[in-house]
Structure 1
Amino acid sequence: MKTKINFLLLIFLLTFNAFSQNTYVFLGSYNRDKTAEAIQIYQLDTLNGKLTKVTAAKNIINPSYLTISPNGKYVYACTDTKTPNAGSVSSFEFNPDNKTLTFLNSQRSGGENPVYVSVHKSGKWLANANYTEGSVSVYPLLENGKIDSIAQNFQYTDGSVNKDRQTRSHVHSAVFSPQCDYLFLPDLGADKIRCYAFDASQKKPLIETQNPFTKTDLEAGPRHFTFHPNQKWGYCIEEMAGQISVYNYDNGVLNKIQRIASHPDKIKEGFESSDIHISPDGKFLYATNRGKENNIAIFSIDENGLLKNIGYQSTLGKHPRIFAIDESGKFLAASNVLTGNVIVFKRDLKTGLLKKTGKQIKMENVSCVQIKKI
């Protein structure tokens, strides 16, 4: 009898914990004014896609890209983005019970125009990509969520063939490998995906490898990168070429197996491909196209990791810079910078197609959206 009671109690606690968790949507922006809300947080209703505002933060400039710590307690942001002779990374503490987002501290970004931050799975390291000067910085993260001073900073000067956009390096993202033992840096300016081994136990964790970079096609402009849940394949969205390159992945090495357009064949120019993500079940890949299109390209992923285009969905706004998929895979949220709106779409789990749901959120110059279950 006692064993049965304990079992029922365990079931109750597990059920209570599952229902006590909530899903939150985090929005960053080019607010350009400290009196304007720079970061906003909403709760996502995982039944109907409705967003309800929880809290916001002011007194910071241009938190253009956000990432959330693995435990959901801290928000890290690229700040002072697109600000001449400036650039920083900042930390905030999110308390959903008190509905507060509290600024903790900032550190210099180690280069102008920070555009992407990633947190190591241990929650103890932060990696930041700086676009304008082409560099990467890594920082230890303290127990209280604050960012410590820069541990390493590497800067690059090499460019590529496009005289208008590739006169020098422009690192556009910093993405950890699935096991967080490597860090990949798509470099739009140099047509390279740079790579370092990452040893989280060292004071200087970035370690040069025998394969320091993977060359992309010329004028590709590699921007963002993501790994498949099975950890065997990597996918890179190429901003300038409007293509997605697919790679076999093994222990820090990328080998290209496919390159496919992220935009319709009828579009020959004026596109700026942006962000890329894979559904949690690994069956579908999504990529945003800005410029003339303003849509999300949808691809199925076959058993060899190759992509097949199955459709497009308008983002119902202009310049969709960043989008995110919730952990259940039921919803996708896209941020449109120029129209200042965020649209939530319901994902069809079988077909991968998208349908607008809920009410759009308005936030001027919204540049980033992240979703986290806490």
Structure 2
Amino acid sequence: MKKLLFLIVLALPVCGFAQKKGKGGPKVFDVLIGTYTSPDANGSRGIYVYRFYAERGELAYLSEIETSNPSYLAITQDYKYVYAVNENNPDGSGGVTAFKFDKATGKLEQINTQKSVGSPAYVSVDKAQKNIFIANYGGGNLQVFPIGKDGSLGASTQTIQDSGTGPDKLRQQQPHVHSTVLSPDDKYLLASDLGTDKINVFRYRASKTPPLSPATPAFTSTAGGSGPRHSDFSPNGKFMYNVQEMTATITAFSYDDGALKELQTVKMMPDDFKGINGAADIHVSPDGLFLYATNRGTANEIVIYAIDQESGKLTYVDRTKTDGDNPRNFVIDPTGNFILIGTRARVNVFRIDKKTGRLIQNHNRSVVMESAVCLKMIPVE
């Protein structure tokens, strides 16, 4: 099932291509794919590793490891360790698991697991590899776990419980922390709370215990009922973009030493859209020229914007349907040539027109993959 690949890909000498480099760095990457493993996920077992050839947009299966509902992944700066949330029910069974990653073989080896206070949906790791940060969507809090010298996770050193509600009586009766994103300089942590329409900002000091403290101001609000979900920074660190799940809107902020200032909010859908929204993920292209965001619900597409390099504001470019519904997380390869998008049934591969930002789908390069919900890349050297 996971190994339904093209014979031309499998016939290539993987090790030979793993050593190939060209201008601008590696052209070969390992793609780590987190999935949902619940009974309705049609047989996914955990985390899958594929090799991606960025000059051709091709994927080749490498390995897999079993773990429960690894719906979001984080990778250390040295690429030696991977952390996966176990997004189980908020009954004490949720947690986060540490893995060792072997770049030579593309295989993962489990190190240990720590329990979470709620059902986690996101994990990030600092550049110094001192701590990881998880967002417990179920539970409405974020947690900090220290990293040992061997990559293992220690017991949580800090739990920050959010409070409040939003205007949506069905989905915002309590906090739902959905992401924990570090600023480019690792001085701040920005946590989007879908349940309270807030982006909470914390000062991060890796040498302190606990390492997080409220910034000034301590939060920035988005529109009532919008449901902030994920964020990404521009490469120059001057702008941050937040996608709001419930209204399928994107807010552009200027960013300066932990302070956010709203510049613009745009709708992802046309005015005549009558369907269901479920905006999910957001990323800026490596060159900083374009922004991409996925919308699930009945839209099932990725929307493209051009970024004004002076103001940081967005201009609509195009929208592209995905092959398969429920497009959640996606990754742009560091060469800027391809986007890989996880959907309910497969991983889509799109080629990027670097001049326009528009996407061209490579249907014959997609891979069958049930409930692919998180994709991360590691350069192969």
TM-score, with length taken from structure 2: 0.90
| Secondary structure of the structure 1 residue equivalent to 2:217 | coil
Aligned equivalent of 2:167: 161
Report the Cα distance in structure 2 between the residues aligned to 1:309 and 1:81, rounded to whole angstroms.
Answer: 37
Choose the corresponding residue for 1:196, options 190, 193, 202: 202
Q: How do 1:341-352 residues align onto structure 2 when only pairs under 5 Å count?
A: 341-352=346-357
Structure 2 letter corresponding to 1:52: A
The answer on 1:353 being equivalent to 2:358 is yes
Report the Cα distance in structure 2 between the residues aligned to 1:36 and 1:95, rounded to whole angstroms.
Answer: 22
Choose the corresponding residue for 2:134, options 128, 140, 144: 128
Check conservation: 2:21, 2:27, Cα contact below 8 A.
no
Structure 2 letter corresponding to 1:332: I
**Structure 1 gap segments, 5+ residues each:** 1-12
Structure 2 letter corresponding to 1:74: Y
Shift of 1:240: 0.7
Q: Which 4+ stretches in 1 moved above 4 angstroms?
A: 13-21, 33-36
Using the TM superposition, name which of 204-213 and 18-27 deviates more.
18-27
Aligned equivalent of 1:8: none
Check conservation: 1:81, 1:115, Cα contact below 8 A.
no
Report the Cα distance in structure 2 between the residues aligned to 1:15 and 1:366, rounded to whole angstroms.
Answer: 28
The answer on 1:28 being equivalent to 2:34 is yes
Aligned equivalent of 1:265: 271
Report the Cα distance in structure 2 between the residues aligned to 1:130 and 1:264, rounded to whole angstroms.
Answer: 32
Check conservation: 1:23, 1:372, Cα contact below 8 A.
yes
Q: Residue 48 and residue 341 in structure 1: after superposition, are their counterparts in 2 closer, same or farther (change >3 A)?
A: same
Structure 1 letter corresponding to 2:243: I
Report the Cα distance in structure 2 between the residues aligned to 1:27 and 1:159, rounded to whole angstroms.
Answer: 33
Aligned equivalent of 1:286: 292
Report the Cα distance in structure 1 between the residues aligned to 2:30 and 2:24, rounded to whole angstroms.
Answer: 15
Q: Deviations over 1:48-80 (max 9, x none)?
A: 11100111001x211111121111111110114
| Secondary structure of the structure 2 residue equivalent to 1:321 | coil
Aligned equivalent of 2:333: 326
Aligned equivalent of 1:43: 51
Q: What value does the CA root-mean-square deviation take over the aligned residues?
A: 2.1
Choose the corresponding residue for 1:251, options 236, 257, 262: 257
Check conservation: 1:64, 1:81, Cα contact below 8 A.
no
Using the TM superposition, name which of 92-101 and 150-159 deviates more.
92-101
The answer on 1:137 being equivalent to 2:143 is yes
TM-score, with length taken from structure 1: 0.91
The answer on 1:373 being equivalent to 2:379 is yes
Number of residue pairs matched by the alignment:
358
Check conservation: 1:29, 1:366, Cα contact below 8 A.
yes
Q: Residue 289 and residue 14 in structure 1: after superposition, are their counterparts in 2 closer, same or farther (change >3 A)?
A: closer
Report the Cα distance in structure 2 between the residues aligned to 1:17 and 1:281, rounded to whole angstroms.
Answer: 15
Using the TM superposition, name which of 326-335 and 263-272 deviates more.
263-272
Q: Deviations over 1:223-253 (max 9, x none)?
A: 0011111111111000011100111111111
Report the Cα distance in structure 2 between the residues aligned to 1:17 and 1:83, rounded to whole angstroms.
Answer: 47
Q: Residue 195 and residue 327 in structure 1: after superposition, are their counterparts in 2 closer, same or farther (change >3 A)?
A: same
Choose the corresponding residue for 2:62, options 36, 54, 58: 54
The answer on 1:209 being equivalent to 2:215 is yes
| Secondary structure of the structure 2 residue equivalent to 1:174 | strand
Q: How do 1:175-190 residues align onto structure 2 when only pairs under 5 Å count?
A: 175-190=181-196
Structure 2 letter corresponding to 1:46: A
Shift of 1:37: 2.4
| Secondary structure of the structure 2 residue equivalent to 1:271 | coil
Check conservation: 2:27, 2:53, Cα contact below 8 A.
no
| Secondary structure of the structure 1 residue equivalent to 2:375 | strand
Shift of 1:19: 7.3
Using the TM superposition, name which of 353-362 and 159-168 deviates more.
353-362
Q: Residue 18 and residue 301 in structure 1: after superposition, are their counterparts in 2 closer, same or farther (change >3 A)?
A: closer
Using the TM superposition, name which of 67-76 and 191-200 deviates more.
67-76
Q: Residue 312 and residue 325 in structure 1: after superposition, are their counterparts in 2 closer, same or farther (change >3 A)?
A: same
Aligned equivalent of 2:78: 71
| Secondary structure of the structure 2 residue equivalent to 1:52 | strand
Check conservation: 1:326, 1:372, Cα contact below 8 A.
no
Shift of 1:32: 2.2
Q: How many percent of aligned residue pairs carry the same amino acid? A: 36
